[in-house]
């Protein structure tokens, strides 16, 4: 019987790992459908940035309560993987608590820490469910979250409750079995939580306890493997991509916009025909972006890294004043369109065109025109996403490729071109005000 269970476990583990790897590689391939962008300079600064923002969650602590609750879930998720590793070793080898005899007192300490974090994560999970479903926080109940995104967030929280309950039940029954001297149940020492929760199982026989302990063990590991395969389809992909996304951040001064080198050269020579300009190798075939493949790979990784937390939208002046624009929706639309393009290419071959595009079919001109380029969304994002950069690329396309701009903007552009300022004054008259002082 034991060998059958080991084979079943190995099969479930192998198939889950294969499916997850396949999907993660598909996501990587989708990300590299984007244009090239070199973000490999200053590696030391990048590692530091990643440690502070992805591992240290620096920006999360602008709002302490959700930050602490999130920290419980996050640290618990990271630390619990030590116990998952042991479960995998046990599942394949048929052992039970493989590390316990080797680690002794440290094992007791380690599992106790996992139990404590799991308990705190359980409390945090209920608090998050409450905020989302009972308090109905505005940023967690906006139009772009209707349907699947809302269900996804709740589903993940419910999954976390199941996983944590399973691990606490497993440890409690295991501890009780140790007290009863059941065969194969090594002493783990006094586990911080299980020494108390095991009392819930007082009076049960050894067979019943083993059945509960084994059931909780299987629920936990099958749940983890299911979770691994669910992550790439969910906003929870950020638990992995937050790290590379923080590493490959664009180190730009706050508020500075990425100029288009070809246009910059034109402007420089317009202002000063003798200006020295650097020749541009491979100038772009079109300005701005119409679809996801016109964006860079970093834009696309940003889209996959979005946690859908809505901090950007909550700070966006356009959204706050009732405009259609939501920077969170910009990121969600970019990811959805990228998934669509990736699937189309996979199914229909590399030359397939579906005659759809990010601009128009997902994001409207009205949305991108509402952006004030204030940078608040960039400043707020806890995982270093830059929705503004995508908005600017889409807007550049509408203006420079489609000549699609409101009359007021066109007047301003003409003035910039003719008067080197947004106003309708001749540059020679600019200092006339001095004579009136
Ligand atoms: S930069 Fe644009 S999208 Fe971002 S917060 Fe400001 S107005 Fe909103
Ligand atoms: S872009 Fe950043 S702030 Fe906005 S929803 Fe996504 S993760 Fe949150």
**Tens digits of per-residue pLDDT, 15-65?**
999 999 999 999 999 999 999 999 999 999 999 999 888 877 777 777 777
pLDDT of residue 1: 67
**What percent of the chain is predicted at pLDDT more than 90?**
59
290 C-alpha to ligand 1 centroid (Å) = 19
Q: Closest Cα partner for 328 from 387, 284, 372?
A: 387
Nearest alpha carbon, ligand 2 atom 8: 309
pLDDT of residue 291: 96
- Give 41-47's long-range contacts (Cβ < 8 A, gap of 24+): 41/251, 42/251, 45/251, 46/247, 46/248, 46/249, 47/247
328 C-alpha to ligand 2 centroid (Å) = 6
DSSP state of 294: G
Atom of ligand 1 nearest to the CA of 378: 4
| pTM exceeds cut of 0.85 | yes
| Phi and psi angles of residue 296, each rounded to the nearest 5 degrees, phi first | -90, 165
Contact assessment for residue 201 and residue 173, using Cβ atoms and an 8 Å cutoff: yes
Q: Closest Cα partner for 280 from 263, 258, 298, 257?
A: 263
Weakest mean pLDDT among 1-15, 300-314, 319-333, 360-374 = 1-15
Burial class (CB in 10 A: 0-12, 13-18, 19+), 298: buried
134 C-alpha to ligand 2 centroid (Å) = 22
308 C-alpha to ligand 2 centroid (Å) = 5
Residue 91 near ligand 1, beta carbon < 6 Å: no
Residue 374 near ligand 1, beta carbon < 6 Å: yes
pLDDT of residue 213: 96
How many Å apart are CA 278 and CA 407, to the nearest integer?
Answer: 33
Alpha-carbon 36 to chain mean position: 21
Contact assessment for residue 231 and residue 185, using Cβ atoms and an 8 Å cutoff: no
**Tens digits of per-residue pLDDT, 252-306?**
887 788 888 888 888 888 778 888 888 877 777 889 999 999 999 999 999 999 9
Residue 333 near ligand 2, beta carbon < 6 Å: no
306 C-alpha to ligand 2 centroid (Å) = 5
Residue 372 near ligand 1, beta carbon < 6 Å: yes
How many Å apart are CA 104 and CA 115, to the nearest integer?
Answer: 17
């Amino acid at each position: 019987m034991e060998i059958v269970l080991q084979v079943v476990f190995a099969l479930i583990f192998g198939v889950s790992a294969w499916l997850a790897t396949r999907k993660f590689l598909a996501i990587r391939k989708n990300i590299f459908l984007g244009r090239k962008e070199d973000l490999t300079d200053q590696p030391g600064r990048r590692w530091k940035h990643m440690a502070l923002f992805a591992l240290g969650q620096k920006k999360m602590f602008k709002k302490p309560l959700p930050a602490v609750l999130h920290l419980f879930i996050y640290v618990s998720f990271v630390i619990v993987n030590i116990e998952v590793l042991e479960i995998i070793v046990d599942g394949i080898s048929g052992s039970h608590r493989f590390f316990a005899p080797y680690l002794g007192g440290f094992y007791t300490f380690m599992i106790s820490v996992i139990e404590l974090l799991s308990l705190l994560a359980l409390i945090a999970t209920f608090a998050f469910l409450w905020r989302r479903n009972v308090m109905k926080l505005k940023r967690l109940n906006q139009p772009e979250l209707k349907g699947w995104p809302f269900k996804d967030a709740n589903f993940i929280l419910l999954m976390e409750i199941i996983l944590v309950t399973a691990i606490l039940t497993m440890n409690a029954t295991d501890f009780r079995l140790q007290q009863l001297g059941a065969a194969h149940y090594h002493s783990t020492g006094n586990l911080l939580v299980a020494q108390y929760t095991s009392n819930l199982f007082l009076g049960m026989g050894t067979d019943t306890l083993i059945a509960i302990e084994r059931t909780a063990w299987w629920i936990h590991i099958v749940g983890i493997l299911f979770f691994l395969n669910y992550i790439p389809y969910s906003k929870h992909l950020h638990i992995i991509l937050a790290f590379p996304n923080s590493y490959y951040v664009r180190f730009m001064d706050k508020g500075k916009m990425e100029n288009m080198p070809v246009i910059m050269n034109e402007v420089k020579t317009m202002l000063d025909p003798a200006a020295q300009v650097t020749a541009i190798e491979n100038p772009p075939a079109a300005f701005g972006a119409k679809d996801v493949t016109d964006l860079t790979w970093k834009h696309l990784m940003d889209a996959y890294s979005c946690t859908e937390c809505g901090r950007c939208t909550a700070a966006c002046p356009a959204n706050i004043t009732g405009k259609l624009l939501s920077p969170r929706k910009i990121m969600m639309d970019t990811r959805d369109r990228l998934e669509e393009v990736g699937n189309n290419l996979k199914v229909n071959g590399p030359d397939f065109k579906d005659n759809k595009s990010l601009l128009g079919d997902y994001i409207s001109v009205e949305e991108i025109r509402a952006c004030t380029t204030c940078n608040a969304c960039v400043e707020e994002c806890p995982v270093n996403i830059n929705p503004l950069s995508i908005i600017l690329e889409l807007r550049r396309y509408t203006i420079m490729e489609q000549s699609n701009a409101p009359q007021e903007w066109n007047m301003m552009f003409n003035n910039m071109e003719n008067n080197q300022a947004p106003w309708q004054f001749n540059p020679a008259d600019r200092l006339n005000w001095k004579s009136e002082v």
